[in-house]
Structure 1
């Protein structure tokens, strides 16, 4: 796991040692599975890699490292003055996207207003080549439940979406419909001002909402950029 996150950064073991303040021989022992990480060193490494320390809680790490887990801080927090002058590694080839700890259901869920309150502290690493254009910084990842969008999306798929309340053309969206958090296809008939909320799986219900007359709340949470099945 440690090696995987280091590769995401395009860092060598020496880079990780320099940025974390943990010695190179210690880094090598951890990656080889020859030693258990202490809580202090685990936190330093997580901070340097800009991930939550809980991502490293595995059988290869010390059980006592499960204590005092906290969210990662910025890259330079634990660096000495000499270390901050080091040349940065080459540009990262990954985006790190916040994961939400709620699911977007095929049919039902809880009403959600501010998605920022549901960030888990974990990050999803996605290769930049996965995107056709550079996404905004306001992107998040959410897991999908249920079968209403199969075969487009299956249960436990993840969708990456740009958070926002605007309709940006027909496509796949995360939305709150009548108190239910969903991932659905949206199509707008501009002549009749009717929003079609579509389930790909025909065994599940789709909805038509006349926007200027309906009493049902439709809150767009963001347009889906990509899915990870």
Structure 2
């Protein structure tokens, strides 16, 4: 069976993360990351990895790194990309539909990479053509983003774990899946519902102990 640091290195490379990005998230020097990956650190995954890498890895990925066991309904990027998805044409794009729903309310289940179908989209709807390997379709549940998003709508996201400016995102916050408007503030990110009946929440990475993980930015809305 592989070691935790072998699984960590393999997954880091698959996700195209650099050792420097890992070092920055851990608050350590890049040489420390290199030592970990070469098996010169702890024989068990250090707690700091589980605490500080939630913005770069999902809970399922961190669990896999630590134990070597994948959740039964979570698939690797290789498994997802090997699925038989219709070839994109000059006119239409196929977006895999995920099995989860993003809550436009008070929260839903964790984001799990399970493809249940496909959504065909006219290419002309995109202002800028996204990376087609990274697009996903997720159904909206709840009313906190009304009138921008209604229950039953689909949001098309481009999977990317980094905040790329104000906009609507699908995110995991405190282990629940949400679709919310994110707006950068002074050292914080405001989590905003377009429905004014819902309060604005704030994530401050310096003192908020809850996990905060961006799944992807919404690039298109498909009405039901």
Q: Structure 1-normalised TM-score?
A: 0.57
* Secondary structure in structure 2 of the residue aligned to 1:153: coil
Are positions 1:224 and 2:218 aligned together?
Answer: yes
Structure 1 regions of 5+ residues with no counterpart?
A: 1-70, 77-90
1:16 matched residue in structure 2: none
* Secondary structure in structure 2 of the residue aligned to 1:204: coil
1:166 matched residue in structure 2: 162
- Which of 179, 182, 190 pairs up with 1:183? 179
Are positions 1:125 and 2:120 aligned together?
Answer: yes
- Which of 191, 203, 206 pairs up with 1:209? 203
Paired with 1:218 and 1:200, the residues of 2 have a C-alpha distance of 20
Paired with 2:197 and 2:165, the residues of 1 have a C-alpha distance of 25
Q: How does 1:21-170 map to 2 (within 5 A)?
A: 73=84, 92-106=90-104, 107-112=106-111, 115-116=112-113, 118-120=114-116, 122-136=117-131, 137-170=133-166
Contact 2:86 2:94 in 1 (8 A): no
Q: Which runs of 4+ in 1 moved over 2 A?
A: 71-76
- Shift in Å, 1:72: 7.4
Q: Structure 2-normalised TM-score?
A: 0.58
Paired with 1:226 and 1:74, the residues of 2 have a C-alpha distance of 20
Q: How many residues align?
A: 139
- Shift in Å, 1:75: 7.6
- Shift in Å, 1:178: 1.1
- Shift in Å, 1:202: 1.1
1:194 matched residue in structure 2: 188
Contact 2:102 2:108 in 1 (8 A): yes
Output the aligned Cα RMSD: 2.0
Contact 2:139 2:155 in 1 (8 A): yes
Structure 2 regions of 5+ residues with no counterpart?
A: 1-81
Paired with 2:97 and 2:136, the residues of 1 have a C-alpha distance of 6
| Structure of larger gyration radius | 1
- Shift in Å, 1:145: 0.3
